[in-house]
Chain A
Amino acid sequence: MKIRLATVWLGGCSGCHMSFLDLDEFLIDLADAVDLVYSPVVDVKDYPENVDLCLIEGAVCNEDNLEILHKIRARTKVLVSFGDCAVTGNVPAMRNQFGIDNAENVLQRAYVENAQNNPSVPKADGIVPQLLANVVPVHEVVHVEYFLPGCPPPAARIKSLVAQLLAGTAPKQEGEQLKFG
């Protein structure tokens, strides 16, 4: 049975997924070992049931992120916080420093104060998700089995972790493989 692999993109720049694509020829080995059941590079709309392994890129920034994260946890055996945004909050979480009204303030700054045309905060219920009051790393919302730091994690680091997980061993990462930034 192939391992059912998912990768998701929450509040991040997709750099971790770019680094994932940098796995080059290992992607061919990977394709033999896994079914990619959900990913930004796969045209599947809903997160499926019975996923074995999910790499989560990005911090938890908005209501959509929060909703899918709970769904992912309920439907997945092993979660990996994939990259600094998922692990620490990183750049998306810098808005937290602006205090209690930070979500409103950054939207005002971006869409009103700095707008040249039609200054207004985008609002479309059910389409544009509301920002959460604070951005949080993934493990502050759901239990996470493993952490893969890096901005982005270099392809070799991703390969090392994924290969160990596919081999059924608890991944051991140490030294520079754990470097943030």
Chain B
Amino acid sequence: MAAKTLTIDGKQITAEEGATVLQVAREAGVNIPTLCHLEGVYDVGACRLCLVEVAGVAKLLPACTTKVAEGMDIKTDSERLRKYRRMTLELLFAERNHVCAVCVSNGHCELQTLAYSQGMEHVRYDYTFPKWNVDTTHRLFGMDHNRCVLCSRCVRVCWHIEGAGTKNVSGRGSLSKIITDLNQPWGQAASCTECGKCVMACPTGALFNKGVTVGEMERDRDKLEFIVTAREKKQWIAE
């Protein structure tokens, strides 16, 4: 494969053709915040937290779905990017009911961590306080739509790692909703294999193991990594 040379934050970098800006930046030790990205499943550019500036391109581009090109000059941190990242986070908090103090993922949440690492000390937009339910019909797992950021990680692991295709997104805009099968209660979704990969993939407290209470939902990503490594490198490396 042809090599591409580009610049990230002033650093000269050589990358393989077909690689994404996010992959290349991470390999070069440049940290770009992400939320919907999950190693091992394809990227969709849903959350807009990984936006970067590319010289000569007026709009901001998501690092996770932008492929490297020869001569690209990329900035991953600027006043403008910080402004938009913070705005994106605030809108996520305002859109649903993220009550960290009483959330199963308090202390282990990617949204919560992103918020403080990006300096979000309050939300400038009015909270919308929408009414969402909690689906606890499944034998093992629960889904709290109040905490969902619609990153679709659960949908992607369900389809592309487990291959079950139970999870889907219905609706449009802020009324979008993660559903199981044809919008049935999760407990009645016949295609669910009860593998729990969606729960492992969730960045917030939206998907949880039944029986956990505030702050107890610590995710075990090792199983996902194990399968992804096996698939991509043909190596069965167990912890």
Residues of A within 8 A of B (CB): 81, 84, 87-91, 93-94, 96-99, 134, 137, 139-140, 144, 147-149, 151, 173-181
Contacts and interface: CB of A to CB of B under 8 A. Distances in A.
A98 B132 CA distance: 10
B213 to A, nearest CB: 13
A151 B58 CA distance: 41
A57 B129 CA distance: 21
B122 A97 contact: no
A180 B101 contact: yes
Give 9 nearest A-B pairs by CB, closest first.
Answer: A181-B100, A151-B101, A96-B129, A180-B100, A178-B116, A147-B121, A181-B106, A147-B122, A179-B116
A98 B116 contact: no
B122 A90 contact: no
Given A91-B99, A147-B121, A175-B116, 8 more contacts: A94-B97, A97-B129, A137-B127, A140-B126, A174-B116, A176-B116, A178-B119, A179-B112
B38 to A, nearest CB: 23
| Prevailing SS type, chain B contact patch | loop
B99 A94 contact: yes
Nearest to B126: A140
Interface in B93-132: 93, 97, 99-103, 106-107, 112, 115-117, 119-123, 126-127, 129-132
Interface of B: 93, 97, 99-103, 106-107, 112, 115-117, 119-123, 126-127, 129-132, 146, 215
A89 B101 contact: no
A139 B120 CA distance: 14
Contact of B127 (A89, A91, A144): A89
Contacts, number: 71
B106 A88 contact: no
Contacts of B99: 88, 90-91, 94
Contacts of A175: 116-117
A139 B123 CA distance: 9
10 contacts: A84-B101, A93-B129, A94-B97, A96-B127, A97-B132, A97-B146, A147-B121, A174-B119, A175-B117, A178-B120
A107 B23 CA distance: 53
A180 B112 contact: yes
